[in-house]
Amino acid sequence: MNINKNYQNLKEGYLFQTISEKVKKHSKENPDLKIIRLGIGDVTRPLAPPVIDAMHKAVAEMGMAESFRGYGDYEGYSFLRAAVCGYYAKKGVALREDEVFVSDGAKSDLANILDIFSSGNTVVIPDPVYPVYVDTNIMAGRKIIYMDGNADNAFLPMPKSGVKADIIYLCSPNNPTGAVYGKKQLERWVSYALENDAVILFDGAYEIFVQDRDLPTSIYQISGADRCAIEFCSLSKTAGFTGTRCGYTVVPQALMRDGESLNKLWLRRQATKFNGVSYVVQRGAEAVFTKNGMERIKGDISYYLENARIITDALTELGIWFTGGKNAPYIWLKCPGRMSSWEFFDVLLCKAGVVATPGAGFGANGEGFLRLTAFGDRENLIEAMGRIKAVCG
């Protein structure tokens, strides 16, 4: 018996797992220390009342023979897919229900989608980047070409002539840098994908944080994207579903490769390997897209963006270079005193009791940077920035 040897090419631990183990160890050694977590992008605002009400109602339905539900549709309940289509219509994007697939979150689908592509494909991935894109392609043994993101290109790499890609990952607003592609930039990516017969895997998990009305919040706002892009969205950061689990993936009917409909292939894959998200959670997710639900969650997004402002004000005061935090919940900063990412991570953990994410964990170009998240509870966040000021000031 042989194992999948590609796993030997992975770093030993998944980034956030490694951080969590380090933090656990530090906590154990310093039991009286109050650790403040600005590392993994985990939300702190509770689920909105309309979501909770919808879930309670759904739980009650599950307890009565006449409204009980067993297996749902593989692609998700029609009521939720219709709600997602309504959300896109407000962005000026016309979607059909059969183009929307409900999932347990963007992370799983970004990895699972690779099932429908040949492992012989070449993948283009930005660096720095959310580690799931890299790790899942290493697991499958695909050839990866990295595109450099740096301060010179505002961490928004653009297509390079001479690079032949089959699969392209774009994340906007970006995790980890908070950078957001403009319309013209996405138009260039769409043209490049169409010219190269490539498919863009567009991670839009943070789209709701975009405040600047000129910035696209969906790749399908770009003409031609329905022929070259799959979009992944999540309610994790949008509506506090990190623990509840629900997201959706859009695979347009117009998207064909190798003579096959990718929508059909994805449905085939999901029907075989996935039994869907629970009815109760899908009812809660549907409530996110109601008028009341949207108003509540937009209040939470404003709360997180105000947190981001508090972080960036403190960094400005300290004279630390940063980007992000305006249309995204992440702040990407240069480690002071030429420290490496992990050195600064250790300083913040050991001297300030604050957990951050080392930029090096997002790729070679992340070395020397650190990511802070704005998802914390306000009081803790203010305390964390006070501690960081005391250590770095």
Structure tokens at 135: 């790790």
Q: State in angstroms the smallest separation of the CB of 261 from ligand MLT.
A: 29
By CB under 6 A, the count of residues binding ligand MLT is 5
Contact (Cβ atoms closer than 8 angstroms) between residue 252 and residue 227: yes
Site residues for ligand MLT, 211-270, by CB under 6 A, read none
Q: Please give the DSSP secondary-structure letter assigned to residue 348.
A: I
Closer CB to ligand MLT, 137 or 263, in the complex: 137
Q: State in angstroms the smallest separation of the CB of 113 from ligand MLT.
A: 15
Closer CB to ligand MLT, 175 or 282, in the complex: 175
Q: Please give the DSSP secondary-structure letter assigned to residue 133.
A: H
What is the DSSP code string of 351-389? II-EE-EEGGGG-GGGTTEEEEES-S-HHHHHHHHHHHH
Closer CB to ligand MLT, 185 or 238, in the complex: 238
249: which residues sit within 8 A by CB, 6+ positions away? Answer: 100, 101, 103, 106, 109, 113, 230, 231, 232, 233, 266
Q: Please report whether residue 283 would count as binding ligand MLT according to CB under 6 A.
A: no
Q: State in angstroms the smallest separation of the CB of 131 from ligand MLT.
A: 8
Structure tokens at 313: 């004000």
Q: Please report whether residue 37 would count as binding ligand MLT according to CB under 6 A.
A: no
Q: Please give the DSSP secondary-structure letter assigned to residue 117.
A: S
Q: How many residues does the chain have?
A: 393
Q: List alpha helices for 164-259, DSSP H.
A: 183-196, 235-239
Distance, in Å, from the CA atom of 368 to the CA atom of 385, rounded to the nearest integer, reads 20
Closer CB to ligand MLT, 38 or 58, in the complex: 38
Structure tokens at 97: 């229900």
Closer CB to ligand MLT, 168 or 374, in the complex: 374
Closer CB to ligand MLT, 175 or 217, in the complex: 175
Structure tokens at 294: 């949207």
Contact (Cβ atoms closer than 8 angstroms) between residue 7 and residue 141: no
Q: Please report whether residue 40 would count as binding ligand MLT according to CB under 6 A.
A: yes
Q: State in angstroms the smallest separation of the CB of 205 from ligand MLT.
A: 7
Residue 334 host element (H or E):
strand 330-334
Closer CB to ligand MLT, 237 or 283, in the complex: 237
68: alpha, beta or left? (left if phi > 0; alpha if psi -120 to 50): beta
Position with the least CB separation from ligand MLT: 41
Q: Select the residue interacting with ligand MLT from 37, 81, 107, 296 (CB under 6 A).
A: 107
Closer CB to ligand MLT, 107 or 326, in the complex: 107
Q: State in angstroms the smallest separation of the CB of 171 from ligand MLT.
A: 10
Distance, in Å, from the CA atom of 296 to the CA atom of 225, rounded to the nearest integer, reads 31
Q: State in angstroms the smallest separation of the CB of 82 from ligand MLT.
A: 26
Q: Please report whether residue 41 would count as binding ligand MLT according to CB under 6 A.
A: yes
Q: Is 275 exposed, middle or buried (0-12, 13-18, 19+ CB in 10 A)?
A: exposed
Q: State in angstroms the smallest separation of the CB of 63 from ligand MLT.
A: 33
Helix 49-62 × helix 279-288 angle, to 10°: 150
Q: State in angstroms the smallest separation of the CB of 41 from ligand MLT.
A: 3
Contact (Cβ atoms closer than 8 angstroms) between residue 362 and residue 176: yes
Contact (Cβ atoms closer than 8 angstroms) between residue 361 and residue 344: no
Site residues for ligand MLT, 158-217, by CB under 6 A, read 175
Closer CB to ligand MLT, 18 or 121, in the complex: 18
Q: Please report whether residue 341 would count as binding ligand MLT according to CB under 6 A.
A: no
The one-letter code for the residue type at 107 is K
Site residues for ligand MLT, 126-155, by CB under 6 A, read 130
Closer CB to ligand MLT, 175 or 312, in the complex: 175
Q: Using CB under 6 A as the criterion, which residues of the chain lie in contact with ligand MLT when the complex forms?
A: 40-41, 107, 130, 175
